[in-house]
Structure 1
């Protein structure tokens, strides 16, 4: 089979399309013929060696295709070995593409529970773009964040896969969504997806500007932070509000004032990925609310995976970057 192979960690140029042995079935696992795969920032970290993946390695967490044993169209849930505890993953939890070879290939092997029937109406690109950001965002907003209709949500960032997914899912749930961005154009595009307002986080007073988007300037019920800006995020909350943290692309450490945190009665919630039950909840939610599919920014052919990574890292896109395997 053809696959994008990483022989050493480093820049995007290290991703090369090669011929490799076929993925094979094993007990409890199935092989999926991949029609499309989607990029995530997680893939960049794998490429850079942050997760110390075994080399040579095939990256990629997200994908959609056809089960070779049944011919059924499926999406690949990249949450491997979650376990039975819905509160947190098991000690054996992995994200597909960390240790196991991933979806930047014509074939990928996954546990049978991770080959989920493809939702009707989604293109291959949309189906491939759904699993990681979809299940991650659903768990962050609803399982962990307890977002309810009528509440206010601030999403830090307006253009990435998690951010665009958060806007569409939260708006479909009846929440009032505000986003931050460095680009007025991206704020406008988030509004087109369902955000009520947006502010530029390049401005020194952006937290105050965001709070002015809430009733009585009281602050938000929930803030979703996929970048690691905890200090500003907590200041944007109403008293008793919840902060859900699911990324560290801007900061991987944070200093916080402890007294103001506990006097504010805030909740600080960490999350990543989601369980098969979370993914089932996402699919049911999308069917019940007619929430729109993932936003696709650009599609690249499989042999242009390096170009796709460079585009993702540029920050110029809006939505998901997808590799077309057909």
Structure 2
């Protein structure tokens, strides 16, 4: 089968390790099934894999990708939940990995996944739309509805318009009635965020016209101070990533004086993916897709992701 793999690791030049070519078809495994991939979406996790984060040299070559929608062995249209429960010793906490960390990922014509990880794809969603849900949109859904503890009509800030998680947060938060502020260095991305329903879009680091209940931050070091200073007393930062680095000043004095909360969020459960899928069907909400490219053009897709050119998701089609 044709696949996109990490063949080498380079933190400073991640795309140098990207390799396109033939790989063996998945070997049958009890409790697992092969999905013929119809669409797969890129995530920053794929770039971090090429940098060696959560992927070690001894596992190379590794097929990249954690998001996919396709057709299972029984002919059903499905969405792949990319969080895999790993075997653990009795009495130990469960261990989890994402596809492409231990098991080959979704940027291929076929992917082997646990049967329990499949979610029915509703006919209302295209394969391309469905492929955007399992990582970025699921992460945003879990942050917004599982971690933030918001009431209808709350005020929120989304740091960094344009990324898959950020676009999903803006779209969903606006749809359920929150007042949404968003930041970006790009005037074009700020305008597109307004089109998704944001109340206002400001340049990165600019002071907001009001304090907010919750800040959603996937940027990290570059936005952390602004996130803390944008909160009301008792407010919360919900963080799911650190694309600009993860060593900012913690500003602990501000955190404890204002009784702020810092909440971490990673991915989401299969049950949340089912609920997210149903939400999209019932409301008409759809993932924002920046571009759809053939799987063979993966290098261009990775280049655009690394450069931050996209607004929403980049989708690859075998």
Tell me which of 67, 71, 75 is aligned to 2:72: 67
How far 1:303 sits from its partner (Å)?
A: 1.2
Q: Distance in 1 between matches of 2:20 and 2:245?
A: 33
Q: Distance in 2 between matches of 1:17 and 1:258?
A: 46
How far 1:247 sits from its partner (Å)?
A: 0.5
What is the TM-score of this pair, normalised by structure 2?
Answer: 0.92
Aligned to 2:266: 272
What is the TM-score of this pair, normalised by structure 1?
Answer: 0.90
Tell me which of 157, 177, 180 is aligned to 2:180: 177
Q: Distance in 2 between matches of 1:160 and 1:97?
A: 21
Aligned to 1:250: 244
The runs of 4+ residues in structure 1 deviating greater than 4 Å are none
Q: Distance in 2 between matches of 1:104 and 1:238?
A: 42
Aligned to 2:155: 152
Deviations 1:120-164 (A, max 9, x none): 222221111111011111111111112331001100011000010
Q: Distance in 2 between matches of 1:233 and 1:263?
A: 16
Q: Distance in 2 between matches of 1:48 and 1:283?
A: 31
Aligned to 1:28: 31
Q: Distance in 2 between matches of 1:267 and 1:82?
A: 31
Matched residues, number: 306
**Is it true that 1:222 corresponds to 2:214 in the alignment?**
yes
Q: Distance in 2 between matches of 1:287 and 1:262?
A: 42
Structure 2 gap segments, 5+ residues each: 88-92
Q: Distance in 2 between matches of 1:188 and 1:40?
A: 23
Aligned to 1:2: 2
Deviations 1:175-200 (A, max 9, x none): 11110000121111001011111110
Structure 1 gap segments, 5+ residues each: 84-89
Contact 1:130-1:293 within 8 A present in 2 as well = no
Aligned to 1:282: 276
**Is it true that 1:308 corresponds to 2:301 in the alignment?**
yes
Contact 1:33-1:106 within 8 A present in 2 as well = yes
Deviations 1:22-60 (A, max 9, x none): 113322211100011110000000012122241111110
How far 1:286 sits from its partner (Å)?
A: 2.7
SS class of match (1:224): strand
